[in-house]
Copies of this chain bind each other. A is one copy, B any other.
Amino acid sequence: MTSEETRIGRRGGGRAARKAARLAPEVEVDPCTPGQRGGAYRPLSDAKLNTICNEAFRVLEEIGMSEVPPMVQEMALAGGARLNDLGRLCYPRSMVEDIIAGAATSLIYYGRDPRHDFEVGGDKVYFGTGGAAVQTLDRKSGLYRPSTLADLYDFTRLVDTLPNVSWFTRCCVATDIPDNFDLDINTAYALLAGTTKPVGTSFTLPEYVAPVIEMFDLALGGEGRFRERPFCKAHISPVISPLRYGEDAVGVALECIRLGVPINNIVAAMSGATAPATPAGFLVQSTAETLAALVMVNLFAPGYPMIFSNWPLVIDLRTGAFCGGGGEISIMNAASGQISNHLGLPSGVASSMSDAKAVDAQMGMEKGISALAAGLGGANMIYESSGMMASLLGASFEAFVADDEMLSHVHRAIRGIEVNEETLGFETIREAVTGEGHFLGAAQTMDAMQRDYFYPALADRNEPRTWEEAGATDLWTRARTRADEILASHYPDYIEPEVDKIIRERFNILLPRGCMRSGGS
């Protein structure tokens, strides 16, 4: 040990620290709850932000949209839009600005259990899932296989126990259900059965929305109950890059509006393919496209609850494959959140997924960087942020558990540093320095210990020998054990038996009751 190492002695005061631990208050304080306020990271300067927004307005005004469903075109022309020489539907800036001014600036995302409610808007940051893997990382083989309805139910009840997944959009597709209507119904059923958090799903066709809401109303105890506290959002992409509407998705959106289903309006352009490869140009087009979706929704229902989900996606230009990890997608999604917040709209981005297949260092690195960038940037809803692997092709139980712990660190970082007389603690410094020469027993230390520090459960902080004696495990192994424990025990009872009977009589529910209790799945 030479000069500086002596200052980094591993156990600065082990015994005194353990004594401090015993003396610490027993009340559990979560030092890093979801909903911390972001924005300390500003990937775009004010000048860049204004330039990109101005260019987005210009794209809508001069280039405009194609493949506009007749109903939308009629409403838009009546609302101030015009057709350009190429017959594309163009929105004058003043019209778009008026729409923004009348749009929802925030919304409550309801849980079936009100303790899971949260407000989306401002600069508060929440992490949750998006759609939708077609494969599951098998916990036994460590390899991928097609995902099933049973997987979806298992993911749902796992997430029900993870505090940093603030909502659950069905993370995988039940590929064992061939019929699209059955798929949409059973996906919604799995969400109902496994969690009372806010949830999200998608609808293959407009006519599938009403039956799903009927099932939700049954679960809530009567017709119209869903509309009072809509706990499920629809993920819809009514705009397809570059700059055209998608008729089916517009139809789903209009049906959701009719039935009171809040909308997560996703634009998911791909750099260099369906949008510019330059990050600035990409953000211009993608912002314009998300505004085109906002205009569409607000023409039919001014102020309708809608997440402004501008999700920049990156493809590896060597192969054309989508890739979710890396520096580019991290800054582009952070910047997207900044732009949406600047426009005063509830922002959604996609970050903290991984291209890795294994639950390994690549996964941790890719998720850590992209989650922190989006979170510090202040995006309100960070989708795809838990459990997603293999460039969104796969979902992993172990990754869900590992990500949940990572997101505590991220929330802690977003929370930042409180500066006030108590935390500055000038007199505490004076007393420690002129007294015992350390801070281990100080009242300030006791107070800070739980309020300011997160203590991970899965991460290994032991010294090498202790780690080796305990089996030299990696995080994948420890996360698997934890996921196994949760899945073996957490079978929530969120649908009452008599209601379940009614739902099963009315709909073709393919999840056997036997899967829904201990020893079943």
The closest CB in chain B to the CB of A17 belongs to B320
Task: Please indicate the chain B residues that have their CB under 8 angstroms from the CB of A456 in the complex.
Answer: 326
Kindly state whether residue A18 has any CB partner on chain B within 8 Å.
yes
CA distance A58 to B430 in the complex (A): 11
**Are B449 and A272 in contact (CB-based, < 8 A)?**
yes
B472 touches A12 (CB 8 A): no
Query: Which residues in chain A, 308-352, are within 8 Å of chain B measured between CB atoms?
Result: 313-323, 325-328, 330-332, 335
Q: Give Cα distance in the complex from A41 to B374, angstroms.
A: 12
A35 contacts chain B at the CB level, 8 A cutoff? no
Q: Would you call A28 an interface residue if the criterion is a C-beta within 8 Å of the partner chain's C-beta atoms?
A: no
Task: Known A281-B424, A417-B283, A444-B277; judge A326-B409 contact (CB<8 A).
Answer: yes
A168 to chain B, nearest CB (A): 15
Which partner residue on chain B sits nearest A431 by CB separation? B63
- B86 and A434 form a contact (CB under 8 A): yes
Q: How far is the CB of A370 from chain B (nearest CB, A)?
A: 8
Chain B residue nearest to A279 in the complex (CB): B417
Q: 1/0 contact trace for A434-461 toward B, CB 8 Å?
A: 1001111010110011001111101111
Given A327-B454, A424-B55, verify A242-B432 contact (CB < 8 Å).
yes
* A32, A267, A273, most chain B CB atoms within 10 A: A273
**Which stretch (A70-78, A90-98, A148-156, A359-367) binds chain B?**
A359-367
Contact residue among B20, B40, B319, B369 (Cβ-Cβ distance under 8 Å from A368) = B369
Q: How far is the CA of A252 from the CA of B6 in the complex (A)?
A: 14
Number of copies of this protein chain within its complex: 2
Q: Separation in Å of the A162 CB from the closest CB of chain B?
A: 16
A11 at the B interface (CB under 8 A): yes
Q: Which residues of B contact A319 (CB under 8 A)?
A: 11, 14, 17-18, 21, 461
From B272, B327, B440, contact of A448 by CB (8 A): B272
Interface size class of A (residues with CB under 8 A): 35 or more
In the complex, how many angstroms separate the beta carbon of A164 from the nearest chain B beta carbon?
A: 12
User: Which residue of B63, B173, B273, B361 is within 8 Å of A363 (Cβ)?
Assistant: B361
State how many angstroms separate the Cβ of A297 from the closest Cβ of chain B: 15
In the bound complex, CA of A367 to CA of B335 (Å): 22
User: With an 8 A cutoff between CB atoms, is A131 at the interface?
Assistant: yes
Once A317-B449, A327-B412, A369-B369 are accepted as A-B contacts, the answer to whether A444 and B17 lie under 8 Å apart by CB is: no
Min C-beta distance of A359 to chain B, whole Å: 5
When distances are taken between beta carbons in the complex, the residues of chain B under 8 Å from A318 are 17-18, 21, 455
Residues of B contacting A418 in the complex (Cβ-Cβ under 8 angstroms): 278-280
**0/1 interface trace, chain A 46-81, chain B, CB 8 Å (1 if under):** 011001100100110011001000000000000000
Q: Which of A108-116, A190-198, A232-240, A497-505 is the contact stretch? A: A232-240
Is A165 an interface residue, CB under 8 A from the partner? no
Query: A385 at interface (Cβ–Cβ under 8 A)?
Result: no
- Which residues of chain A (231-278) have a CB below 8 Å from chain B? 235-237, 240-243, 248-249, 252, 266-268, 270, 272-278
In Å, the complex CA distance between A436 and B202 comes to 30
A33 located at the interface, meaning its Cβ lies under 8 Å from any Cβ of chain B in the complex: no
Set of chain B residues within 8 Å of A365, measured between Cβ atoms: 364-365, 367-368, 402, 406, 409
Partner of A3, one of B21, B202, B376: B202
Asked whether any CB of chain B lies closer than 8 Å to the CB of A513, the reply is no
Partner of A272, one of B17, B357, B454: B17
Whether B366 contacts A274 by the Cβ 8 Å rule is no
Cβ-neighbour of A429 out of B242, B392, B439, B452 (below 8 A): B242
Listed stretches A211-219, A221-229, A298-306, A463-471; interface member: A463-471
Find the residue from A43, A368, A411, A479 having the highest chain B CB count within 10 A. A368
A177 to chain B: closest CB distance in Å? 12
A-B contacts, 11 listed (Cβ < 8 Å): A2-B131, A12-B270, A12-B320, A17-B273, A243-B433, A284-B426, A314-B453, A361-B361, A361-B364, A369-B409, A393-B463
Beyond contacts A2-B131, A20-B317, A355-B461: 19 other A-B pairs, Cβ-Cβ < 8 A, are: A2-B183, A2-B204, A4-B235, A5-B202, A7-B241, A41-B376, A42-B42, A88-B434, A135-B464, A144-B465, A276-B429, A279-B452, A284-B424, A321-B462, A325-B459, A326-B412, A327-B411, A365-B409, A366-B409
Which 5 pairs from chain A and chain B are nearest by CB? A364-B364, A368-B368, A327-B412, A17-B320, A364-B365
